[in-house]
Amino acid sequence: MDIPLEDEFRPAFAALTKALRQEARLSAAGRTRTIERLIAQLGERAALAELERSEPAIAQLEVARPIVITGFPRTGTTLLHNLLARVEGLWAPPLWQLVAPAASAHDDDAWERAQRSETATMLDELYAAAPSFRSIHPMDPAWPDQCNWLLRKSFSTMANAFTWFVPGYVQFLSTCDMRPAYADHQRWLRALLHRRQRRLGAVPRLALKDPFHMWHAQALLAVYPDATIIQLHREPAQVVPSFASLCATLQTVDTDSPRRPAEIGRFCLYILGRGLEALERARQQLPADRFVDLSYRELVASPGAVLRKLGARLDFNAEGVAVEEAGEWLERNRQHKSGRHQYSLDDFGLTPEVIDEYFATYRSRFGPLLA
């Protein structure tokens, strides 16, 4: 089948669709939903190309000094992202824009209301299909969300391994050149910045977030050499079962033959292990000043102090209103408001000894941030 996709992204598309056929155990309904998603993502690519043709100034926009939040899944990246979104001069694109970033050239308030409504419907359908996911990862159309919404459109994100059991695809992404995907990511960000500039007259500094940026930090910094990566750290014995619970929950949506919990546990260790290897290579080869390490415990305990510290390090104003609004957001959306996310290592056939062996090097390097 001939698909309207640039050559550099065909291998990723082929790897994903092969894994979906051979590993994901899609149900009939799941297969239909998956095909619809892939077609929609191809359609978004066509819309972006048309927007760039009609608005050539988009290609000239600079994505300058972005702040990029990453870390293992379940380490507080969402919390920090939402706090940075309250800082004047920073902009964290909201979910409703990330879902459809190639906005209509004639978009207006009515279009925006419709897009927000469609995004809310998408979330309602997700939470209806996987009710416990709301307590695991609350989302809102107006809140900032992850870069994988953009990287999905080049079929090049580990987030697809949240949604489906696709170890073959994880293997592909662990070894492929991700620089074209991040160059494409930049195209989407320019489109978002162009829309914001047209409506508000300013091009803000971006605050971005995705746990899986840490898998590809070298590719990210090749495209954004003046980016600063904030890496969050949390005790792996807490990260692993929480991540496995997230994957197990999402992967029930498109299959009627889900993997056993122990398989999910091994799958998640495999993904995280690949991330550890990539992280170690990146931290050895990239300038140390491109990274800021942050403890999950410190963030949760003292979010205002963390904002001030980051502001001093990364040159943004984290005083006054920023800290106040961040505190108000944290209070409104405190942990467990949507229900408590419960999990344990034993639920996924894992033991403390396995975690100790897998994460010995990580704990040795970042131990003070995990205590």
CA 76, 295, 216, 39: dihedral to nearest 10 degrees?
A: 0
Instruction: Give the pLDDT confidence score for residue 340 in this predicted structure.
Output: 55
278-284 contacts at long range (C-beta below 8 A, 24 or more positions apart)? 278/174, 278/214, 278/215, 278/216, 278/217, 278/218, 279/214, 279/215, 279/217, 280/361, 281/218, 282/214, 282/217, 282/218, 283/217
Q: Where are the chain's structural domains?
A: 7-370
Question: How many residues comprise the chain?
Answer: 371
- Could you give the 3-state DSSP secondary structure of residue 67? strand
- For each of the chain's 371 residues, which pLDDT tens digit applies? 567 899 999 999 999 999 999 999 999 999 999 999 999 999 999 999 999 999 999 999 999 999 999 999 888 899 999 999 989 899 999 999 999 898 765 678 888 899 999 999 999 999 999 998 888 888 999 999 999 999 999 999 999 999 999 999 999 999 999 999 999 999 999 999 999 998 888 889 999 999 999 999 999 999 999 999 999 999 999 999 999 999 999 999 999 999 999 999 999 999 998 998 898 899 999 999 999 999 999 998 888 889 999 999 999 988 766 667 766 767 776 654 555 556 799 999 999 999 999 999 999 999 999 97
Yes or no: say if 253 and 216 are a contact pair by the CB < 8 Å rule. Answer: no
323 CB contacts (<8 Å, ≥6 apart)? 304, 307, 308
Q: How many whole angstroms from its chain centre is CA 323?
A: 24
Yes or no: say if 148 and 159 are a contact pair by the CB < 8 Å rule. Answer: yes
Instruction: Give the pLDDT confidence score for residue 117 in this predicted structure.
Output: 96
Yes or no: say if 83 and 308 are a contact pair by the CB < 8 Å rule. Answer: no
pLDDT tens-digit profile of 73-111? 888 899 999 999 989 899 999 999 999 898 765 678 888
Instruction: Give the pLDDT confidence score for residue 202 in this predicted structure.
Output: 82
Q: Which of 206, 62, 107 is nearest to 147 (CA)?
A: 206
Distance CA 253, CA 33 (A): 10
Distance CA 323, CA 329 (A): 10
CA distances 138 to 127, 142, 174, 340, Å, are 9, 12, 28, 12
DSSP string spanning 71-114?
A: ESTTSSHHHHHHHHTTSTTEE--BHHHHHS-S--TT--HHHHHH
Query: What pTM did the predictor assign?
Result: 0.94
Instruction: Give the pLDDT confidence score for residue 324 in this predicted structure.
Output: 73
CA distances 231 to 7, 57, 83, 122, 170, Å, are 32, 33, 15, 30, 21
pLDDT tens-digit profile of 123-180? 999 999 999 888 888 899 999 999 999 999 999 999 999 999 999 999 999 999 999 9
Query: Domain 7-370 belongs to what architecture?
Result: 3-Layer(aba) Sandwich (3.40)
In three-state form (DSSP H/G/I as H, E/B as E, the rest C), the secondary structure along 269-323 is: HHHHHHHHHHHHHHHHHCCHHHEEEEEHHHHHHCHHHHHHHHHHHHCCCCCCHHH
Q: Name 295's bridge partners.
A: 233
32 CB contacts (<8 Å, ≥6 apart)? none
Instruction: Give the pLDDT confidence score for residue 4 in this predicted structure.
Output: 80
